Structures are given as C-alpha cells and as structure tokens.
C-alpha cells in the first residue's frame, strides 16, 4: 500500500495542484485562488518530503534523504527561492495606486513605501507569490520525487483533471455561471486566455496516451480519449482563434511524434490504436460545440471564416498592440530595473497614452498586448532576469540529460512535449500576456521539468529481452 501511495498518490496530488486554477477560475477571485493554491502547495511540499517515489528496492528513509539532498543541490530550487522573495517583497510593498490631488484637481500615481524595492498595486501580489510557490512544488517534485511510472501517471492525472475542469467550465459558460462567460469573451483589454492552459494539457494528453499504451494501461483508452477531447473543448471555449491555431499546430506535431514513437517502440497495432483514440477524442469537442456553445462564443470563433478578409486577430488588434507596446517601452525606460510595479500597467496607460489613442484602446486596457514588453514594464530587468534564470536552468538540465542519456531507455514523447509546449507559449507571448496566468505557468513548468526527467541512463549491464518484431515492452526497456 505504501508503494502504491508513493508511486501514484503523490503524482495525483501534484497533478491536481497544477490543474487547480482550471477548476477555480470561474468561481474565485485572485485572493481566494492564491489561498487555495498555497494550501495545496504546502500539502504537496510535505508529501514531497514524507512520501517520495522509491527507486527499485530503496527504503523510504533512503528515498527521503535522496530527495532532500537533490533539492538542496538543485540550483532551480534556489532560483525559485529568489522569485518567492521578490514576490513576498511585492506583497508588503504594495502602495501603487491612483490618488486624486484636490488642490490641483488632477490624478497621479502615488509612491510606494520603499521605492528601491519591487512593488505592486495596492492589494495585489498574493497570487503571484502563490504561483511561484506552486511552481517550485510542482517542478521540484517532478524533477526529484517522481519515478518513471509516476511521471507517466502525473501526465495522465493532469490531462484527466484538466479535462474535467474544461467540461465544468464550458457548462458554466453555457449556463452563465460565475466568470466563465466573461473569460469566454477573450477580451483584448486583458489579453489573458485560460484556453492556453487547456491547450498545453491537450499536448500533455497526447504524450500520456502514448505512455499509457507503452506501459500496458490500454484499459483506460476511453478515459484518455475523453480527457483529450475535453481539453480541446476548453481550448475552443476560452481562447481566441489565433491561440487555437497555435495549439492545434502544436498538437499536430505532437501527434506525429507520438504515433511515430508508438509504431517504432511498440508496434503498428499500438500506433493504430493511438490514432483511433485521437479520432474518438475529436467527438467530445464536436458534441460540446453543437450543444454547449453560446451564440456569442460561436460567432466570435467563426468570425475569421465568415468575414470577406480572413483575419485571425480581432479588429483594432494591431493598432492596440502598437499603442500599448509604445506605452510599455516608455514606462520601462522610466524604471528599467524594477519596473513600475506588478499590475500597474492599467494605471500607467492612463498617463502615457495620447488622447487620440483612446479612440482605439478599450476603456479598461490593463496589459501591453505583448508579453515581453509587459514583463519589462511591470517587473523590469530584475524580474525578467529572474524568470530567464529559471528557464536557463531548465534548458541546461534538458540538454545535459539528453547528452548523458541512452535514448533507447528514454521516453521521447515527454521530451518533445517540453519543446513543443515551450515553442507554443513563446510564440503566443508575442501577442498577449497569457504566460503570466497561474494555470498556464503551472502546466508549462510541469511539462518542462518532465521533459528533462524523461531522458534517463540505461541500467548498468542491463540487456533487454527481444520480443516479436524486435520490439520490447516498457518493463523490459526500463528494467522493471
């Protein structure tokens, strides 16, 4: 029983943590969501130390010592510690706000308590801090506390949880519950789309499906098909057309990689079953789009195909992006190191946009419509470098694992998943600020960590037995 808990229960909890914002976004505000994410992270961190996956015949106390040593030696953990420190400082240095000076009759931005420290708008910053803590918990657990089978289980749990959340959120959108109808509008003013997180989980579903076939978990074929189709439904409901295109292209690449891997490592029958599962998955969004799609969402998604001139972007998108990027550049030049403060762009645009720009800008524009400029404007070079260090460490880990690994024993779809997901998110960040969402960040960093961990060394002196057609089972390939 303890082996089962350490191998699968921890993976299930971490997957639920990564998918939790997808359950919460229609119902909770930022403060409440931050509290839930923090509690789930603390439970996951305790689980990390108490019940890590054991390797081979390893005793539990040896497994605990191993994950503690791995954590303390991991530069990524210390990078997350720096990010958490910056986030905590922002919470207490949160004086950015609009103030009205009655004496001169004008609005202005007041100064924060400590001007040379990172800041945020008044009452903000808690969700950002919670995201960093959750990122550290999810990423470090995937890197050090999950075994090979547990990583495949993690992907499976993640796509299933995301699929359930997608169906719940789509139903909430149809019935007008919570904030789901507002999120389905995909407003340019916020340029933050939860559908991208469902898109990443859609890619995870493809890797999890292939991994399940390789490990002989084919009894869950219908569940995987449902989960993949449900994530596609969430992508359709809560993302604009250009985001849908990005993740559909990414899914096609992932599909080719997955089917090719299944055919080479397993056999042609498994490859055909993989294709069949994806075809069955397509029925879920087809049915949901027929019966659950509100007319407003349907009109918005079909608009590029019904207009005379095909356009992936909404009207005034490029002009709005140009104006907001110019404002972001001006704000960043005024405070290049720390930026103007987390969540402050919506206030800065009121002072830096020209009067004529408001004929184009939405009334409540709150982002730069360009993730890179938005990062620099609100967090400055310090924030940008901090995020870059985390990604660089993950990239170095990925490359070093590939160089040192035996590809025969590695789960290549997880490696491809990391690269494809990162490429999709990087491409999207040129057009919106979705990368800063809790759900997108958690899903992305989870797959990046899994990608590096999927490349393993061959067991010393182990020779797998050859099966029919020269193929080997998963247990034989991994020495289990």
Q: Report d(CA 315, CA 361) in Å as an integer.
A: 11
Q: Report d(CA 196, CA 202) in Å as an integer.
A: 10
In this predicted structure, what is the pLDDT of residue 385?
94
State the Cα angle at 394 between 232 and 367, rounded to 5°: 55
The per-residue pLDDT for range 354-403, each reduced to its tens digit, is 888 998 998 889 999 999 999 999 999 999 999 999 999 999 999 988 88
Confidence of residue 479 (pLDDT cuts 50, 70, 90): very low
Would you say residue 97 has pLDDT above 80? yes
The DSSP annotation for 156-193 comes to: HHHHHHHHHHHHHHHHHHHHT-TTHHHHHT--TTT---
Would you say residue 457 has pLDDT above 80? no
- Which runs of E-coded beta strand occur in 299-439? none
Contact 26, 177 (CB under 8 A): yes
Give the residue carrying structure tokens 């005024």: 334
**147 — phi, psi (to 5°)?**
-80, -175
3-state secondary structure of 394: helix
The total number of structural domains that make up the chain: 1
Neighbours of 337 (CB within 10 A): 13
Q: What Cα–Cα distance (Å) separates residue 69 from each residue in 51, 77, 227, 394, 447?
A: 15, 12, 36, 18, 23
| CA nearest neighbour of 86 among 134, 111, 118 | 118
Confidence of residue 468 (pLDDT cuts 50, 70, 90): very low
In this predicted structure, what is the pLDDT of residue 242?
95
Confidence of residue 100 (pLDDT cuts 50, 70, 90): low
Give the residue carrying structure tokens 């997955």: 258
Would you say residue 234 has pLDDT above 90? yes
Per-residue DSSP letter, 336: T
Would you say residue 194 has pLDDT above 90? yes
Report the percentage of the chain scoring pLDDT > 90: 61
**Orientation of helix 30-50 relative to helix 10-24, angle to 10°:** 180
Cα 300 to its chain centre, rounded Å, is 24
Write down the mean pLDDT value for the chain: 88
Structural domain range at position 301: 2-478
Contact 241, 312 (CB under 8 A): yes
The per-residue pLDDT for range 21-79, each reduced to its tens digit, is 999 999 999 999 999 999 999 999 998 888 787 776 778 888 888 889 999 999 999 99
Per-residue DSSP letter, 95: -
Neighbours of 403 (CB within 10 A): 8
Would you say residue 459 has pLDDT above 70? no
Contact 239, 196 (CB under 8 A): yes
């Amino acid at each position: 029983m303890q082996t089962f808990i350490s191998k699968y229960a921890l993976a299930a909890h971490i997957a639920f943590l990564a998918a939790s914002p997808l359950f919460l976004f229609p119902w909770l505000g930022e403060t409440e969501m931050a509290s839930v994410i923090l509690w789930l992270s603390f439970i996951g961190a305790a689980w990390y130390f108490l019940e890590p996956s054991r390797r081979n015949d390893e005793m539990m106390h040896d497994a605990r010592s191993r994950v503690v040593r791995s954590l303390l030696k991991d530069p990524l953990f210390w990078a997350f510690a720096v990010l958490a420190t910056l986030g905590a400082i922002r919470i207490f240095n949160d004086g950015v706000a609009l103030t009205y000076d009655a004496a001169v009759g004008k609005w202005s931005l007041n100064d924060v308590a400590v001007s040379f420290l990172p800041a945020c708008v008044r009452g903000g910053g808690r969700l950002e801090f919670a995201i960093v803590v959750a990122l550290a918990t999810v990423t470090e657990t995937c890197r050090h506390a999950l075994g090979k089978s547990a990583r495949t289980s993690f992907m499976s749990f993640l796509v299933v949880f995301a699929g359930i959340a997608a169906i719940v959120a789509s139903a909430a959108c149809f019935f007008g519950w919570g904030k789901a109808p507002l999120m389905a509008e995909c407003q340019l003013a916020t340029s933050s789309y939860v559908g991208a997180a469902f898109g990443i989980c859609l890619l995870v579903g493809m890797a999890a499906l292939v991994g399940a076939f390789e490990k002989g978990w084919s009894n869950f074929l219908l569940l995987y098909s449902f989960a993949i189709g449900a994530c596609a439904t969430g992508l359709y409901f809560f993302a604009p057309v250009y985001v849908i295109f990005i993740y559909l292209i990414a899914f096609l690449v992932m599909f080719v990689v997955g089917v090719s891997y299944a055919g080479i490592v397993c056999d042609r029958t498994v490859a055909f079953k993989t294709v069949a599962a994806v075809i069955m998955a397509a029925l879920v969004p087809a049915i949901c789009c027929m019966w659950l799609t509100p007319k407003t969402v349907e009109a918005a998604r079909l608009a590029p195909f019904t207009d005379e001139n095909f356009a992936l972007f909404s009207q005034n998108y490029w002009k709005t992006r140009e104006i907001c990027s110019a404002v972001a550049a001006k704000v960043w030049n005024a405070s290049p190191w720390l930026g103007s403060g987390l969540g402050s762009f919506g206030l800065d645009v009121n002072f830096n946009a020209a009067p004529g720009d408001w004929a184009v800008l939405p009334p409540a524009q709150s982002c730069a419509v360009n993730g890179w400029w938005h990062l620099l404007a609100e967090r400055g070079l310090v924030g940008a470098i901090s995020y870059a260090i985390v990604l660089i460490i993950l990239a170095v880990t990925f490359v070093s694992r590939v160089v040192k690994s035996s590809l025969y024993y590695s789960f290549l779809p997880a490696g491809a998943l990391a690269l494809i997901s990162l490429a999709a998110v990087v491409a999207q960040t040129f057009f919106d600020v979705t990368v800063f969402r809790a759900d997108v960040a958690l899903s992305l960093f989870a797959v990046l960590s899994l990608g590096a961990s999927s490349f393993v060394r061959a067991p010393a002196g182990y020779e797998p037995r050859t099966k029919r057609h020269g193929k080997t089972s998963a247990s034989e390939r991994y020495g289990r």
